């Protein structure tokens, strides 16, 4: 009872969401302080250049490439001294470097595109999109953690960017990942979807919120669902996760068993929150809902939570 490992599908649900295709071998046990210099000297090294929430993509005919050689990145004034080594893929070292130029100063062969548009428009292959999530999260963390949070002295990048150390007090600081629960509250035949004021017209999605210190994933699902919708949740099961580089979160997708049905929505977070029957939700996922209700696109973990529930019982 309660042990489901050998019943789980071999292709876990997380493999189907955007930002999840990272194929980099991180070699985390072999990181050294000279990793960045060694990688930059490798002719096979490839660098992503990003800054201000945008990736500087290289135009390649009708499509885009995320990758520059070290010399190409240098020619674009990328800040290679602040680059991080993400790891190695089949072609060699993979790095991410902060951009050194304003968008207006880029050559015609380079286009700065925000991460969300790259993700929504499918401008990169899954492996590069996964690398984007890693690089964006790491560079964002370094950008906001240049000083030791214990003593205030300037800290130094170590281990290819996977650590910062303080030369003054010796403290070590590690890149952070912020866990967020995103959940679909369900009964036997209905699911709970909410609408934030900033959503596009007609869009409804799962509820979500940050996991707080000292809290289990399951308790965060129960707390957030009650705070946002006034619905009590009983059992909780994990479904899938999605790296979310805004700036460095991990979305943890769960189902929650709704044990009450009367909605009392937090109107500061949600402008609407409703139960949708399975038949109606099936129309929504198919894009044929008569009221024009939509859910997030296929690469979103919310879409997978909703569509997997729709499909679960025929």
Residues that bind Zn ion (CB under 5 A): 148, 150-151, 153, 166, 168-169, 171
CA distance 207 to 303: 12
CA 268-271-274 angle, 5° bins = 125
Instruction: Please check whether residue 37 is in contact with residue 82, taking contact to mean a CB–CB distance below 8 angstroms.
Output: no
The helix/strand/coil state of 20 is coil
Q: Would you say 81 or 169 has its CB closer to Zn ion?
A: 169
CA distance 19 to 215: 26
Q: Would you say 122 or 152 has its CB closer to Zn ion?
A: 152
Distance in Å, CB of 171 to Zn ion, minimum:
5
Distance in Å, CB of 174 to Zn ion, minimum:
14
Phi/psi region, residue 152 (left: phi>0; alpha: psi -120 to 50; beta: rest), is: left
Distance in Å, CB of 168 to Zn ion, minimum:
5
Q: Would you say 166 or 273 has its CB closer to Zn ion?
A: 166
Q: Would you say 101 or 150 has its CB closer to Zn ion?
A: 150
Distance in Å, CB of 170 to Zn ion, minimum:
7
Distance in Å, CB of 139 to Zn ion, minimum:
22
Q: What are the residues whose beta carbons fall under 8 Å from the beta carbon of 302, sequence distance 6 or more? A: 182, 184, 205, 206, 208, 253, 295, 296
CA distances from 135 to 70, 115, 285, 313 (A): 16, 11, 32, 39
Q: Would you say 150 or 223 has its CB closer to Zn ion?
A: 150
């Amino acid at each position: 009872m309660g042990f489901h490992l050998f019943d789980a599908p071999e292709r876990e649900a997380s493999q189907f969401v955007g930002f999840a295709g990272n194929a980099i071998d991180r070699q985390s046990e072999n990181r050294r302080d000279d990793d960045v210099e060694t990688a930059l000297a490798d002719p096979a090294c490839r660098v992503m250049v990003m800054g201000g929430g945008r990736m500087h993509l290289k135009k390649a005919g009708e499509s885009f490439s995320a990758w520059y050689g070290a010399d190409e990145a240098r020619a674009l004034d990328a800040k290679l001294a602040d680059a991080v080594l993400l790891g190695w893929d089949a072609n060699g070292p993979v790095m991410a470097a902060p951009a050194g130029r304003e968008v207006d100063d880029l050559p015609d062969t380079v286009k700065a595109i925000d991460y969300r548009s790259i993700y929504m428009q499918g401008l990169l292959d899954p492996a590069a999109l996964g690398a984007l999530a890693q690089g964006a999260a790491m560079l964002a963390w370094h950008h906001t953690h240049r000083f030791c949070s214990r003593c205030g002295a300037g800290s130094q990048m170590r281990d290819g960017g996977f650590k910062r150390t303080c030369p003054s007090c010796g403290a070590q600081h590690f890149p952070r990942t912020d866990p967020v629960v995103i959940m679909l509250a369900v009964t036997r035949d209905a699911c709970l979807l909410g609408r934030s004021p900033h959503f596009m017209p007609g869009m409804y999605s799962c509820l979500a919120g940050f996991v707080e210190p000292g809290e289990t994933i399951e308790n965060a699902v129960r707390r957030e669902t009650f705070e946002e919708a006034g619905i009590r949740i009983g059992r909780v099961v994990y479904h899938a996760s999605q790296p979310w580089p805004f700036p460095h979160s991990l979305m943890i997708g769960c189902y929650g068993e709704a044990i009450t049905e009367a909605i009392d929505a937090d109107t500061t977070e949600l402008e609407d929150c409703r139960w949708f029957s399975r038949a109606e939700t099936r129309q929504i996922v198919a894009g044929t809902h008569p009221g024009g209700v939509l859910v997030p696109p296929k690469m979103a973990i919310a879409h997978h939570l909703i569509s997997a529930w729709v499909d679960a019982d025929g």
